[in-house]
Structure 1
Amino acid sequence: MTIIPPDTGLPAHPAGDMLATVGSNDQTLRILLKSDLSVRQVLDTTDLRVRAACGGLGTCGACLIQTVDGEFNPPTLAERQKLLPEDLAGGIRLACQLRARSDCTLYLDNPAPHSAWKSLDPTPLYQAHANPTVSEYVYGVAVDLGTTHIRLSLWNRQSGRRIGTRYSINPQVAHGADILTRLDAERLDDQDCRRIGREARAAIIDGIRDILSRDMGEITPILAELGKVLIVGNTAMLTLICGNSGDSLYQPENWQSPIACLPADVDAWRQTWRTPHADIDIAQPLAGFIGSDLLADLLATGITEQSQPMLLADFGTNTEIAVWDGSNLWVSSVPGGPAFEGVGMRNGLTAEAGAICKVSASGLRTIGDVQARGYCASGFIDAIALLLDQKHLKPSGRFAEPLSEQGFLLQTNMPKSAIFASDIDIFQRAKASTAAAMSQLMSYAGLAISDLNRLWICGSFGQHLDLNSGFRVGLLPPIPPERVSLLTNASLAGCEQLLLNPAGPSLLNNIVQRARVVNLGGVFEYENRFIDNLRLQPMSIEEFE
């Protein structure tokens, strides 16, 4: 098996997209450009960002980029005002004004300094309307505080305009890749608890400042006009950012009951952020291990407003699952562990540049088409499916032949393509707990697979997921692919709706009122389902009957 080398081109890309090779002094990326997005908007989602300070209006003139070959839109008025005629004639353009009309090659001579923050694709996020009732402190921020990543967006709430989006690694991963490990770190003492919470707070304001500096060109005056910050997340992350003790999450009686996540130091929080007028609001979780991120997913997908039954799964270190039967919402969570975030495995990565995101018999593909550094979750699932098809891996999870110390190499002479028996075991347990929870909740709701109108897969896990591989390894129930919808940033989209839609809180309350929280920890039938789903094979329809 061979990796697609950088000079052979990507596999066929979607119609209407253009392939761009973008170089700088120290790296080269290959990215897909969309006709409705500028080159700057696409590069902002990568590690190679242009310099910027005007939010893409073309007024700062900082995002200079050299066109080497390809066809592009004619120079805009902003470019003619900022660039000399000889520069334009020589192929110099402003990345924020540049749109490709064919495959192309670009060169960035002076990229922006490296940042941990990247932009999100805003297409699947919330589409807001103007709200003239917001008359002062018009700016607002929506935050999805995940175990592994932080995602946020900055808005003008009055005009309904999204100014920018960002995502980055949650710095709390240094204290443990999964929730329970991080809570164990928190239980050391109150001082450690507050310190871990401050790390997440510092990361959020850093992301806000990154948007302000690049998309508005000023920071301090806008922070003073920030009127609302709304944060959703799983219960553990909300507990930590509030500086509260997580001891209550270890008590079984709280697993099905709401837990108050309320910071006691809001004034000090505002002072640290230099946002004197910001209402910092924590969207309250539904129960001990069912956070407001799931509620935001449900709000974004709108499944409780439908008459047809639906299933939703937000894969992550704490996988949250909801089944809507048309009247009631059955919800639970199971420990996915770090497997669905691409970490915790020997060669595991989050979905970042260099992560193997696609595996097939013809080769491996990495995000950014750069040198492979390991597997993100989707690539790992593809790899398992391929190993099963090629009989290198048995449905039991054991390799057909003994492994060497280097593991099983999907590509010769590429150590980062190695898969180990311990990796398979981690995934099997996460897969089994998730599949068992789906079938158990379906049973409680009295639904069969044929009853489901749609399966929603939420979270970054679904960004590169091949549905056929998910079916092959038994992670997804046997539902027609056309009934499956992927919504990568569902929690942030739902948080944006809560921030901006006056009806958002009422819609959220309606979801809460219809929810039935199920603790699967003591359900004997669930334990049997877990054992049945340990095998790496497609889930059977009979399991859901």
Structure 2
Amino acid sequence: MTYKVEFAPSGLSVTVSKGITVLDAARLAGADLDSTCGGRGLCGRCQIVPTNTAALTGWASTEEEYTGRRPILDGQRLGCAAQVCGNLKVEIPAASQVHKQVVRKSVDVGNIEIDPLVRLHYIELEKAELGSDLRGLTEQIAERLSMTYGVTMSRLATHVLPLIAPAAKRGNNTITVAVRHGHEVCAVYPGYVDQAFGIAVDVGSTTIAGHLVDLSTGEIRATNGVMNPQIRFGDDLMSRVSYVMMNPGGEIELTRSVRTALDEMVGTLVAEAGIDRDVVLDMTIVGNPIMHHIILGIDPTPLGQAPFLLATDSAVVTSAAALDIDARFCEVYFLPCIAGHVGADTAGAILAEGPHRSDALQLLVDVGTNAEIVFGNSAHVLAASSPTGPAFEGAQISAGMRATAGAIERVRIDRDTLEPRVKVIGSDLWSDDPGFDAETRSLDISGICGSGIIEVMGELYLSGLIDVDGTVRSDGPSKTSRVFAHGRTFSYRLFGDADEPAANINVTQDDVRAIQLAKAALRAGIDLLCEHAGKTDPNKIGSVRLAGAFGAHIDPLYAKVIGLVPDVPVAKVASVGNAAGAGAVRALVSASQRAEIEETVRRVHKIETATEPRFQDLFVNAMGFPHTTEPTPNLATETTLPVAQAKPEGAGDRQRTGRRRRPT
């Protein structure tokens, strides 16, 4: 007898013989039903929801005795045990689908289909006896993969070959093999193993962030971030290239230091998850071109001078062992670079945020030591980089510091009294809240991190204490005791009340200039791309996305106040976190995502800011707060902007005073 089996939500159906399992019926129909144990009732991944239980046989012993990690939920059956005995409709829940939709923590990867390049398959080998006519273990594995899973093995990695017999012995003739790219056996384990892991890494010039991901579910199981040890060779990328140029063998030191950090990060991640390094089977890495080259052991000096030639702009695949990372079964995939100063990290951000998938124009900015800018939509995508330097991350700022406990991260200045209030990392209270002193007593409040630097600059401008041209006004001391003379310029005391000014946290004229230079470089790059795209009206931009570890914490309003981004309505400006890392995760869990980004980067139009004559003009115009020449009508509706004030006596002519009020 034959029966019709229909599967939801796919709508696929198949006619099968009585007694066939639902799992086998799903395979015949092409329905998306997961199983890693080969239908032996071990993994619990093939659970289905029958709409007509009478069309299935009763509970099998496999289900009664099941003790796997994933419990059988009420109303569900194991597809590998339940047999068809009537016309049947079954629902395959999301948790039982191979290509599941996923939204996970730490990095927002969006909704994608899980389609990892490595899958696990459980195999029962025949017991060898003297005189038995059995083929070799490799050949038996190939036969079982073909018969049970429909996998045609093209090769078995040579480093796996000597491990098969010991694994089979320890597993009592049962093993689990990992198959990469659908045809290559790359790892072997004794007995039944149902979890494989990958690691997605974003190697920034300042920090390295890693995410340990369950390849079958897309779940991020552990996250770790460390400082890039290369900082001791220079704060920014060009200083590290200079180190290599000036010190023979310097590139070896840089490579060794970052590879050591990567290996230590792997150890930290697996320890946090309570797993072994041997189950880490895949790794994706993104980074700027110089980091990309240094990790691979490629001389980065060609990237330090025109024409900024990449060793390769294609994706690179190698082994973890080749990078001195202790993960013997792991393959490493480097996303492709785009141009000499636009790297795999930008490719990852593009993959995550998808300007190439959007009809509306998207401006994507990864704010960091070297800012990467992407502008466009599905019709045309442009990319460039701007040398912002490390000021946004606290370097070159007198009281700048990393974003650690005790760092000032939020700032507000009262428009009438000009008194500040701050928030610090490690406390939810503002400094004028009751209990702030008690709650922060154990914190060392000793500096300002990137988001705080952006906000204090914006607040000083909105309060009228610094001019459009970035000058700390000399008449400030007559308005508040917090402004004081500092050599030939003036500074603002943000936090602390020590008699000695140096003991407090101050914002100096040099600090303002450092931020002006950084933000002008970034804004000039943005304006240059907009000009090349023929879209200079901010209202034509559909969205602005601020990415990167620093960009994730920028208040969009203050990004507009200091002129970091064009005068797009603030509702269209959003911080999207570590987009490069999110792209690395997407490439880790999906083969189609790798193919998508490799195809996309070939269509990106690269703009080299260093050779563009317009860049310098745009840079000069972008020095002002918010901008020297561009009007900001949208910003004027979103906050109260100061009007131009007359220069203090002896400083030239400027109209005096007051603030424009927000229109009502």
Structure 2 equivalent of residue 71 of structure 1: none
Give 1:388 deviation, angstroms: 1.6
* 1:191 has 2:246 as partner: no
Secondary structure of 1:343's aligned partner: coil
The size of the alignment, in residue pairs, is: 419
User: Hey, what does 1:423 align to over in structure 2?
Assistant: 511
CA displacement at 1:374 relative to structure 2: 1.0
Query: 3-state SS of the aligned residue for 1:153?
Result: strand
C-alpha displacement of 1:478: 0.7
Q: How far apart are the structure 1 equivalents of 2:273 and 2:587?
A: 23
* 1:411 aligns with one of 492, 495, 502: 495
User: How do 1:65-464 residues align onto structure 2 when only pairs under 5 Å count?
Assistant: 122=106, 124-125=108-109, 131=115, 134-135=119-120, 136=178, 137=187, 138-189=196-247, 191-216=249-274, 218=275, 222-254=276-308, 267-269=321-323, 272-361=324-413, 362-369=420-427, 370-401=443-474, 403-404=485-486, 407-413=491-497, 415=503, 417-447=505-535, 448-464=537-553
Distance 1:257 1:398 in 2: 44
Residue 202 of structure 1, CA deviation: 1.3
Contact 1:347-1:416 within 8 A present in 2 as well: no
TM-score, normalization: structure 2? 0.59
| CA-based RMSD | 2.6
Contact persistence 1:259–1:287 (CA under 8 A): yes
1:528 aligned partner: 617
Over 3 Å counting, the alpha-carbon distance change for 1:232 and 1:389 in structure 2 is: same
Q: Is contact 2:363–2:374 with CA below 8 Å preserved after alignment?
A: yes
CA contact (8 A) 2:224 2:265 kept: yes
Residue 550 of structure 2 corresponds to residue 468 of structure 1:
no
Q: Which moved more, 1:415-424 or 1:290-299?
A: 415-424
Instruction: Classify the secondary structure of the residue corresponding to 1:434.
Output: helix
Cα deviation, 1:256-298, whole Å, max 9, x if unaligned, reads: 99557969996453xx433222112222311110001011111
Cα pair 2:321 2:327 within 8 Å, conserved:
no
Partners in 2 of 1:127 and 1:342 — Cα distance? 34
Counterparts of 1:122 and 1:211, CA distance in 2: 14
Match of 2:281, SS state, is strand
Larger helix proportion of the pair: 1
Equivalent residues of 1:256, 1:518 under 8 A apart: no
Instruction: Report what 2:585 is aligned to.
Output: 496
User: In the TM superposition, what is the alpha-carbon distance from 1:324 to its structure 2 partner?
Assistant: 0.5
Q: Which has the higher contact order (CA 8 A, sep 6+)?
A: 1
Deviation at 1:162, TM superposition (A): 2.1
Q: What displacement does 1:151 show?
A: 0.6
SS of residue in 2 equivalent to 1:456: strand
Deviations 1:397-449 (A, max 9, x none): 22212732694311342645211222222111111111111111111101121
Classify 1:125/1:164 alpha carbon distance in 2 versus 1 (closer, same or farther; 3 Å): farther
CA distance in 1, matches of 2:446, 2:105: 24
Please report how far the alpha carbon of residue 299 of structure 1 lies from its aligned counterpart in structure 2 after TM superposition. 0.6
Runs of 5+ consecutive residues of structure 1 not aligned to the other structure: 1-119
Change (3 A) 1:251 1:511: same
Residues 1:250 and 1:261: Cα distance change in structure 2 (over 3 Å): farther
Kindly provide the CA deviation profile for residues 139-183 of structure 1, in whole angstroms up to 9, marking residues without a partner as x. Answer: 211100001110111122134332211112111111111110111
Q: Which deviates the most, 390-399 or 356-365?
A: 390-399
Unpaired runs of 5+ residues, structure 2, are 1-103, 121-177, 179-186, 188-195, 414-419, 428-442, 475-483, 634-664
**Counterpart contact for 2:209–2:225, Cα < 8 Å:** yes
Q: What secondary structure is seen at the aligned counterpart in 2 of 1:154?
A: strand
Instruction: Report the Cα distance in structure 1 between the residues aligned to 2:342 and 2:107, rounded to whole angstroms.
Output: 27
2:237 maps to amino acid: I
Distance 1:130 1:250 in 2: 38
Deviations along 1:203-253, one digit per CA (max 9) or x if unpaired, are 12212211222221x4xxx21232212110000111221222112113322
Provide the secondary structure at the position in 2 that maps to 1:514.
coil
Q: What is the deviation of 1:511?
A: 1.9
SS in 2 for 1:290: coil
Aligned residue for 1:294, secondary structure, equals: helix
Partners of 1:474 and 1:539 within 8 A in 2 = no
Q: Is the 8 A contact 1:190 1:245 kept in 2?
A: no
Distance (whole Å) between structure 1 residues aligned to residue 252 and residue 294 of structure 2: 7
Q: Matched residues in 1 for 2:109 and 2:461: separation?
A: 36
TM-score with structure 1 setting the length: 0.72
**Partner Cα distance (1:334, 1:142) in 2:** 26
Alignment partners' CA distance in 1, 2:485 and 2:233: 31
Structure of higher CA gyration radius: 2
Match of 2:571 in 1: 482
Match of 1:86 in 2: none
Q: Distance in 1 between matches of 2:538 and 2:471?
A: 29
Aligned-partner residue type, residue 573 of structure 2: V
Q: Kindly state the Cα deviation for residue 123 of structure 1 after the two structures are TM-superposed.
A: 5.7
User: Is the CA contact 1:359–1:379 (under 8 Å) kept in the aligned structure 2?
Assistant: yes
Give the structure 1 partner of residue 151 of structure 2.
none
Equivalent pair of 1:477/1:539 in contact (CA under 8 Å): no
**Which letter does structure 2 place at the counterpart of 1:520?**
T
User: What is the CA distance between 1:467 and its match in structure 2?
Assistant: 2.0
Task: Tell me, in whole angstroms, the C-alpha distance in 1 between the residues paired with 2:355 and 2:628.
Answer: 24
Mark the CA change 1:423 to 1:324 in structure 2 (over 3 Å): closer, same or farther: same
3-state SS, counterpart of residue 254 of structure 1: coil
Q: How far did residue 342 of structure 1 move?
A: 2.2
